[in-house]
Structure formats: structure tokens, C-alpha cells
């Protein structure tokens, strides 16, 4: 009973805080806490936010870039994202798994990304086994995109769900990155199976 009350209280706390501080989503605090702990973002980084709607993570990146930074933030989603008032921001409406959208991203940042972010979740059915594999497929799609839009030695921060395919995903990540850690920020609901992957040092092939 107490754990349910606490989960509801935590959810309401971050929801109210997001409203007060003008963030579009309570999920903004997940990235803020991850960045504080791991130092993931820098003002000169080119960052691609996949599955970005409604834009809460992109807001945090824009804050890090600030007024003096030279980085860029490219936000991609199938849904329309209300533009963020920052000259470094560009929104792209489309399917990030397609070659067309990936080519658009590379053109926009005139090269490749320093960091890929993804807080995306699939549309869940409520059937545990199906949802586990839908989550795995989405995470694997984000990982596979790294080969096209992430710099050598770049970093990937993404959501992953614990389940039957979770260890398979970790194995694939470790093939492509030098270090892989998983964590759960305080703003993530304790009862949720979501975890956040911090993958550093992308092992892109030299060309």
C-alpha cells in the first residue's frame, strides 16, 4: 500500500515540477539527473533526440547548449513537436528508421552526432510478452541507426525495458560500444521496468 502511494506521489511531484518549471514532460528530469550523474551533454555537442515528442529531453539539451554553445539539437518524431525557442533547435517530422530521415539528420548537422538520445516507448498492448519484444525491437532500431548517424567514440543514451529480451539487447550494445552501463534515475517510477542505457565510445568502422 505504501509503495503504491509513494509511486503516485513521486509521479505527481515531477509532473507538478515540470509544470512549474515549464518543461513539456516530467521525463525532462530523467535526462537532467542522468546528465548530472554521468556528464553526458556539452554545449558544443551535436545531439539527435529520437522519438522526441513532446520535446522534454530536447528542452534540457537546449539549456545545456545555452546562448554561447555551438552545438545543435535535432528532434525527430512521427508526431509534430512544437518548436523549441532556441536557434540550435531543428524539428524533423518522420520515421527515424528510414534512410531518408537519417540522411536528413546527417545533412542538418553537417556530419554526425556526438550523442544520440532516445526516451521512446512503443505503443503497448498490455500483453507482457508482446510488449517486451516490441520494446526490444524499438531499442534495437535505435541501436542500428547509430551506424549511420553517430560519430566514432560517440555516446548513446536510451530507454530499455527489462524483460525476456533485455540481456540480448545488452549483448548487442556491448558489441558496438566500449562501455555500457544501465541505471534508473530517481524521477523514474520505481515500479516501472524501464531502465536507461549509458553506452559510451561507439566503435564505428574507420573509413
Q: What is the pLDDT of residues 116-142, one digit of tens each?
A: 999 987 676 666 666 677 888 889 999
Highest mean pLDDT among 9-13, 75-79, 166-170: 75-79
The answer to whether residues 64 and 41 touch, using CB atoms and an 8 Å cutoff, is yes
Our measurement of the distance from residue 122's CA atom to the centroid of its chain's CA atoms, rounded to an integer in Å, reads 13
Q: What pLDDT was estimated at residue 193?
A: 77
Q: In this model, does residue 206 exceed pLDDT 80?
A: no
CB under 8 Å to 154, separation ≥6 — which residues? 112, 113, 114, 115, 116, 146, 202, 204
Q: What share of the chain is helix, strand, coil (3-state, %, to 5)?
A: 40, 25, 35
Work out the number of other CB atoms within 10 angstroms of the CB of residue 110: 8
Q: Is 82 a catalytic residue?
A: no
Between CA 15 and CA 187 the distance in angstroms is 10
| b/e code 123-156 from CB counts within 10 Å (16+ = b) | eeeeeeeebbebbbebbbbbbebbeebbbeebbb
Between CA 70 and CA 148 the distance in angstroms is 22
Domains in the chain and their CATH numbers? 2-202 (3.40.50.150)
Our measurement of the distance from residue 93's CA atom to the centroid of its chain's CA atoms, rounded to an integer in Å, reads 16
Q: In this model, does residue 23 exceed pLDDT 90?
A: no
Mean per-residue pLDDT, 80-87: 94
pLDDT band (50, 70, 90) for residue 3? low
Nearest to 117 by CA among 57, 183, 195, 181: 57
Q: What pLDDT was estimated at residue 161?
A: 84
Q: What pLDDT was estimated at residue 6?
A: 47
Q: Single out the catalytic residue among 159, 174, 181, 206.
A: 159
Lowest mean pLDDT, pick from 22-26, 43-47, 189-193:
189-193
Mean per-residue pLDDT, 194-204: 92
Which pTM was predicted?
A: 0.88
Mean per-residue pLDDT, 28-57: 95
Q: In this model, does residue 5 exceed pLDDT 80?
A: no
What mean pLDDT is reported for the chain? 87
Amino acid at each position: 500500500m505504501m509503495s503504491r502511494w509513494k509511486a503516485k506521489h513521486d509521479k505527481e511531484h515531477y509532473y507538478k515540477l515540470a509544470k512549474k518549471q515549464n518543461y513539456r514532460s516530467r521525463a525532462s528530469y530523467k535526462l537532467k539527473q542522468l546528465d548530472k550523474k554521468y556528464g553526458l551533454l556539452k554545449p558544443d555537442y551535436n545531439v539527435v533526440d529520437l522519438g522526441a515528442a513532446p520535446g522534454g529531453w530536447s528542452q534540457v539539451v537546449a539549456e545545456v547548449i545555452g546562448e554561447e554553445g555551438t552545438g545543435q539539437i535535432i528532434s525527430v518524431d512521427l508526431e509534430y513537436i512544437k518548436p523549441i525557442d532556441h536557434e540550435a533547435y531543428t524539428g524533423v517530422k518522420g520515421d527515424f528508421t528510414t534512410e531518408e530521415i537519417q540522411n536528413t539528420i546527417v545533412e542538418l548537422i553537417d556530419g554526425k552526432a556526438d550523442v544520440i538520445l532516445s526516451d521512446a516507448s512503443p505503443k503497448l498492448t498490455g500483453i507482457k510478452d508482446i510488449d517486451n519484444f516490441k520494446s526490444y525491437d524499438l531499442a534495437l532500431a535505435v541501436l542500428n541507426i547509430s551506424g549511420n548517424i553517430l560519430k566514432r567514440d560517440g555516446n548513446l543514451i536510451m530507454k530499455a525495458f527489462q524483460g525476456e529480451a533485455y540481456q540480448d539487447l545488452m549483448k548487442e550494445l556491448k558489441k558496438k560500444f566500449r562501455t555500457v552501463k544501465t541505471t534508473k534515475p530517481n524521477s523514474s517510477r520505481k515500479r516501472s521496468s524501464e531502465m536507461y542505457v549509458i553506452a559510451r565510445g561507439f566503435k564505428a568502422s574507420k573509413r
